[in-house]
Amino acid sequence: MLAFFAIFAGFVGVNPDFPLFGGLVRIFRVNAPFAHFVGRTLLEPPEVLPFDIWPVLISLTVFGLGAYAGWVLYFRRPVVKGQPDPVEGIIGNYLGEDAYRIIQNKYYVDEFYGKYFIRPARWVADTLTNQIIDRGIIDGLLHLIGRVAIWIGNLFREFNRVVIDGVGDGIPEAIADASRSLRQVQSGRVQQYLLYALIGGLWVAANLAILVALPQYVGIAALIQVGLVIAFVFLTSTSTTRPGNQ
């Protein structure tokens, strides 16, 4: 069926004036059917050219010469296995052996296509796209983002543990320690209370004297006093945590 179609499909668009085969078109009363079929798919239908005998004569002449050359070279004297191709001898004598090699290798079209089209396409697919872009750039960028995200997560975890939990838990613990330290002040002894009142009065008088006489050292004095208070609270808190004082 395919062979039948291949033989007769070429005469679908034959000119009605073509000798012998043009009569087949007239039988079905169709004028240039292929041109009309193509014309329905275009904005502007193609022009039906008048029949010209010269292309037909040239085609038949080339066909006849090729058929005759094939009969002379291969059928009149059959080629024995192992002997060189007759065409090789003719072309080699007139054009050289290189010319026959070029024709034999189909003008090296396949080699040229493979070298300058297939190999670059494979390099783009295998090396550029797969290795460089996909694995090198895309995967590398995704892995970098993942590592940065893990580092940021660990940083926030440490910040939460040290700062949030440390401050949140440290302030109540410091207040509790200070309370336990100051609890010892309430001993019920009047002499101790008078001593504390005397120390407080002297502390206020010393600050007033610094404020009046040495105002430039107010900041330094304040830092020293804060340090002394922190040291007092630390010492008293450690003393309360000793086994003998609990």
Q: Two tokens at 138?
A: 């895309």
Inter-residue contact 46 to 35 (CB < 8 Å): yes
What stretches of 40-118 show up as alpha helix (H) in DSSP? Answer: 53-70, 86-94, 97-104, 109-113
Output the pLDDT for position 11.
Answer: 63
Note every long-range contact of 32-38, with CB atoms under 8 Å and residues 24 or more positions apart, other chains counting: 37/13
4-47 per-position pLDDT tens digit: 666 666 666 677 777 776 666 666 655 555 666 677 777 777 77
Confidence of residue 142 (pLDDT cuts 50, 70, 90): very high
166-223 per-position pLDDT tens digit: 777 777 777 777 677 666 666 667 777 777 788 888 888 888 887 778 788 788 888 8
The model's pTM is 0.38
Q: How far apart are the first and last CA of the chain?
A: 110
Q: Two tokens at 182?
A: 């100051």
Domain boundaries, the chain: 2-79, 190-246
Q: Two tokens at 87?
A: 């065409």
What's the alpha-carbon Rg for the chain, to the nearest Å?
54
